[in-house]
A and B are shown apart, each in its own frame.
Chain A
Amino acid sequence: MSTAATTTAAPRSPQRSRISGIIDLLRGVPILGPVAALLLACVFFATQTDRFLSGSNFSLILQQVMVVGTLAIGQTLVILTGGIDLSNGMIMALSSVLMTGLAANSGMNPFLAILVGLAVCVAFGVLNGWLTTAIGLPSFIVTLGTFNIAYALVRIYTTATITSVPDPMLFFGETFGIGSTQISYGSILMLALFVVAGFVLSSTRAGRAVYAVGDNPEAARLAGIRTNRVLLGVYAVAALSYGIAGLLLVARTGVGDPQAGQTGNLDSITAVVLGGTSLLGGRGQIVGTLVGALIVGVFRNGLQLMGVGSIYQVLITGILVILAVSVDYLSHRGGK
């Protein structure tokens, strides 16, 4: 592959060098691409509809991406280790119906019910991690299996939507005002989680171990990193973020919805990929995932404000994903 790259690169036309210049820039500051895409999208929509550029609209977009954004934090961790998690949306759904069901139908203290929901998520994460490390199964297969298990457990537990959810569970859906703009507590929680995840990944030994395992597990092992323990931890922490996403989902919609989460895996992978994290593992930044989730949210919101049918939102998301992966692949190929 590297020889192919050198031969095609040999006769450098001005066009070619400009592209490789951009690629070099992206390799140096990979977050630049997603941020530029987000800004361009915002500028575009601001020129198209006068309702786009307002504090309340941006707060709405933030609120609309808080569930998938939080779900994507865990997904980013897993993808950074070179794995993928197909089970996250269903684990989220399981936690949200468990929390609401225990509190609304079984009379459990709502805070305790939330803890139970989160604990079940972590248990699922440990199961994912254990199957991946102890047996050495590919994460794709393991999480496909746990996706189905969680899907079935949700329906065994309830097929009916759970209503009359107690107030403490709806807290993160409530808003506070800054000027005329209403911001939901859930949006703030999501942003806080991104800050924490960003700090841990960039500035702690555990965070660096995640990158090392994703980049080259063998080298990481030889460098004294206990790779299995890192993976197990990553899957467990990731699942905790799915549980929190479940709580946010409950707060956002006001119900425990057994039909939720079915496309959460693909939606979260989309956000991660749009944010420039490599599916090959070892490269990427958590803040990119936030930007990726916002890109999807901005397009959905902007196109809706313009009155463009929602099928075009899907079309554009597809194009963006391919663009993002291509940029990643090209910069990666150039780097090796």
Chain B
Amino acid sequence: MFRKLALLVAALALPSSGQVSAADPTVVGLITKTETNPFFVKMKEGAAEESKKLGAKLLTGAGARDGDNEGQVTAMENMINAGAKGILITPSDTKAIVPSIKRARQQGVLVIALDTATEPQSAVDALFATNNFNAGLLIGQWSKGATAGKKPVIATLDLQPGITVGAQRHNGFLQGLGLVKSDPNTSALASAPEVVCSQDTHGDQTEGQAAMENCLSKNPDINLVYTINEPAAFGAYTAIRAAGKQKQITIVSVDGGCRGVQGVKDGKIAATSQQYPLKMASLGVEAVVKYASSKTKPTGYTDTGVTLITDKPQTGVDSQDSKYGLANCWGTK
């Protein structure tokens, strides 16, 4: 029975167990928050493509769930033991991962944060990410134009407390609307009198729906909904449609996943800020390979860009239509 098991393991492992041969390739580690989120799947794709192109060996790992710090620590230790020259990581817990990153860097491993900054940001060698505050700012500015003349009654469907990305998008949105200015690096949510309902969704569609239902019963006059990501936006749309208010309410979001952009095309989401995980990963792999050959480390923050996707452009706000969005999106179309 156990022999069968070993065979099974061997069979599972075969496709990716490319044994080291000839000159040892540079080993690059990629650690994502989870294994399943399409955003990270795209990131992995980008890293795999770039590794193949540059002749590097890619190891991947992930936490068991979003927020699983220990899982990421374990993956990092294993990759260092596997001889990784550099590790690309999307930290699940921006503070908790810091001591482990410090240990890795002490062992001479280049550590680059992708998508999400560590706290402090200087804990890593470099950060390749979307400017999440800008992503929020764009949908805020767009909303200001789109709802001109109406008094905004706002619901925000947020991520969860204490996570910087969630606060940056939220605060950028409110600043873009011209309601309240915030420090772009804080992890505290800003508020304004126009915001009548704020709920955490963990970026989950089901939770987004429940949150929107609650917000609508709290205040039926809501006309503008900010969502942390597109799954939350779809959840909100389901609740809004069930209440028959889809004409009255504008939903804006952040991510630019293929499903989300399709939602823009279908008129469910009015505007979304698209980000580029593939680019983060390919830049990261490139940097590690460069570090392995020439010992040059990347530093500071590299903005991997964000584009506002909408089919109802507003003057004064740069945007692209859903066709462009679909051509550049991540996830399955």
Residues of A that sit less than 8 Å from B by CB: 22, 36-37, 40-41, 44, 48-51, 56-57, 60, 63-64, 67, 159-161, 163, 249, 252-255, 257, 259-260, 262-263, 300-301, 303-312, 314-316, 319-320, 323, 327
Contacts and interface: CB of A to CB of B under 8 A. Distances in A.
A308 B16 contact: yes
Interface of B: 1-3, 5-6, 8-10, 12-13, 16-20, 35-36, 57-62, 64-65, 67-70, 73-75, 77-79, 81-83, 92-96, 98-100, 160-162
A304 B74 CA distance: 10
Given A44-B10, A308-B17, A257 B78 contact: no
A263 B99 contact: no
A284 B206 CA distance: 41
A305 B78 contact: yes
B69 A254 contact: no
Contact of B75 (A36, A304, A306): A304
Interface centre among A37, A56, A257, A300 (most CB of B within 10 A): A257
A60 B78 contact: yes
B95 A310 contact: no
Given A51-B81, A257-B96, A323-B1, A307 B57 contact: yes
Given A41-B6, A255-B98, 13 more contacts: A40-B2, A40-B3, A44-B10, A48-B13, A253-B100, A255-B69, A259-B96, A260-B69, A263-B65, A307-B57, A307-B82, A311-B62, A319-B5
A259 B13 contact: no
Main secondary structure of the interface of A (DSSP, over half): helix
Contacts of B74: 64, 300
Given A40-B5, A310-B61, A60 B68 contact: no
A158 to B, nearest CB: 9
Contact of B70 (A260, A301, A320): A260
Nearest to B4: A323
Contacts of B100: 253-254
A252 B95 contact: no
B81 A60 contact: yes
Nearest to A256: B96
A249 B70 contact: yes
B272 to A, nearest CB: 27
B13 A306 contact: yes
Contacts of A312: 12-13
A316 B62 contact: no
A312 B3 CA distance: 18
A308 B98 CA distance: 25
6 contacts: A51-B81, A60-B78, A254-B100, A259-B69, A305-B78, A314-B35
A51 B95 CA distance: 30
Contacts of B6: 40-41, 44
Contacts of A48: 13, 17, 19
B16 A306 contact: yes
Contacts of B99: 253-255
A161 B91 CA distance: 13
A37 B77 contact: no
Contact of B93 (A22, A161, A309): A161
A315 B293 CA distance: 36
Given A51-B83, A304-B79, A310-B75, A255 B95 contact: yes
A262 B160 CA distance: 16
B97 to A, nearest CB: 8
B113 to A, nearest CB: 16
A191 B17 CA distance: 33
